Amino acid sequence: MSYTIEIYWGQMKPTRNFLDYALFLAFFPALLSGPIDRAKSLLPQILSPRKLTLDKFYEGAYLLFWGLYLKVFIADNLSKIVVPVFAAGSWRLGLQRLWGLI
């Protein structure tokens, strides 16, 4: 919706390349999640020429594996603490159940 509205209001020009438009839409696959960023700030980034360098590849690989580490080793282990708290319905009851008081 933001793309269509910004085009209608004249805040930006429509893109002529369907693949660039499809890439912009692919960032937001669920309609309910809504756009995280406005079309007029994200679409110029998509339209700008990209140059792949070895440094950018290493930076992307680092970010990918750092995120994987955080998910596998940190978040999965913290879920053992968080799930009982949320499952109890009340955070106090969940903490009491977690610490074995109930």
- 94 with 58, same domain: the answer is yes
The closest of 48, 6, 5 to 23, measured between CA atoms, is 48
78: containing domain: 54-98
- 6 with 42, same domain: the answer is yes
- 60 with 42, same domain: the answer is no
Can you say whether residue 51 is alpha, beta or left, with left for phi > 0 and alpha for psi between -120 and 50 degrees?
A: beta
- The pLDDT score that the predictor gives to residue 69 is 96
- 6 with 43, same domain: the answer is yes
- The number of distinct structural domains making up the chain is 2
- 58 with 43, same domain: the answer is no
- The pLDDT score that the predictor gives to residue 101 is 57
- 72 with 94, same domain: the answer is yes
Instruction: Give the chain's residues under pLDDT 70.
Output: 28-37, 88-95, 97-102
Q: Around Cβ 20, how many Cβ atoms within 10 Å?
A: 13
- 14 with 38, same domain: the answer is yes
What pTM did the predictor assign? 0.50
- 43 with 63, same domain: the answer is no
